[in-house]
Structure 1
């Protein structure tokens, strides 16, 4: 593989041609270590975030921070402050059917519902849920919260989802609510 010289003054080592900055491997490793200390390394948290449930974190030499809400791993929330309440309308798929429901605790709620996939979360309470039930009344299966996965309903869900992971969105909502409360 062709090489060029390291751009670090006083270093005469070869720098690989495919690197964005002309540095030898030793100086690249030093730069990588510096970047990790400065900006952290994104990786799976040792355990889910106690605030938002995210599994993705940013590791610094001093601590882990949740990548979604920036809660410091290991810190315990003040017992006097309740976890932020976020009402969401959810869209769960099971086969060719879609359940439209609402909850303030999606992880616990979804554990109790047989489903294949979480399609989307939409911020809203029972009023929004009722509006969605009316909006898709033609697709409703009897008097349940289950609907036929029609092109019209699936198009609505895609517009709500906006190609964003629903759990990332939920984590952001929790983080925003906690920040507004001054945590």
Structure 2
């Protein structure tokens, strides 16, 4: 025999994690979607970062990557979304630590096998990292030998796809502007 619904006494829906009937489960589901949104494909790519993944709320859609509101045009000025980053690139067994506000353009002129991570920061942070890993630096370059300490630093920065993180930072900068 099925357990009764905790709210109305009707038979609880079989397999439900809570003793609720189907109408009450659906009501709870609708509440969760309204409160936390539902992840789904956007109706069109995000105008700001190009992602197709969104979160749908009763009030509208947000990009799941950069949280730009669907339907709002991207900022007119590139300055509105400028984010300086310290980047970590791997080429063979070496890591480059540099800085830029336009990684895609900068990387086009650099040999690399993989974008390891981005760290929010400008030349000050870049110089700090160069000093921190000075013992590994290949003289006259911004390239460093790979070791456990540098690898651990990069791993701590890498919380997911670096490009998605950059898109989020740009969106936040544009929203503040």
* Same fold, TM-score > 0.5, yes or no: yes
Shift of 1:32: 1.3
TM-superposed deviation, 1:23: 1.0
Partner of 2:96: 99
For residues 86-105 of structure 1, give each alpha carbon's deviation from its aligned partner in whole angstroms, at most 9, with x where no partner exists: 11101122332212111112
| Whole-angstrom distance in 1 between the partners of 2:89 and 2:43 | 28
Task: Give the drift of 1:180.
Answer: 3.0
Q: C-alpha distance in 1, partners of 2:78/2:133?
A: 38
**8 Å CA contact retained: 2:86, 2:118:** yes
Q: TM-score, normalised by structure 1?
A: 0.73
Distance 1:90 1:80 in 2: 23
Runs of 5+ in structure 2 lacking a partner? none
**What CA distance in whole angstroms lies between the structure 1 residues aligned with 2:169 and 2:123?**
18
What residue number does 1:4 align with? 3
Residue 174 of structure 2 is matched in structure 1 by 178
TM-score after normalising by structure 2: 0.75
The size of the alignment, in residue pairs, is 176
Q: 1:109 to 1:25 in 2, by over 3 A?
A: farther
| Equivalent of 1:126 in 103, 123, 127 | 123
**Aligned counterparts of 1:58 and 1:79: Cα–Cα separation in 2:** 24
Match of 2:87, SS state, is: strand
Question: Aligned pair in 2 of structure 1 residues 48, 122: CA closer, same or farther (>3 Å)?
Answer: farther
**Contact (CA 8 Å) 1:15, 1:24: kept in 2 or not?**
yes
- Answer with 166-175 or 79-88: which moved more: 166-175
Q: What secondary structure, in the 3-state scheme, does the structure 2 residue paired with 1:42 have?
A: strand
Q: Which residue of 1 aligns with 2:48?
A: 51
Cα pair 2:86 2:120 within 8 Å, conserved:
yes
Structure 1 unaligned spans of 5+: none
Match of 1:28 in 2: 25
Q: CA RMSD in A?
A: 3.1
Q: Secondary structure at the match of 1:37?
A: helix
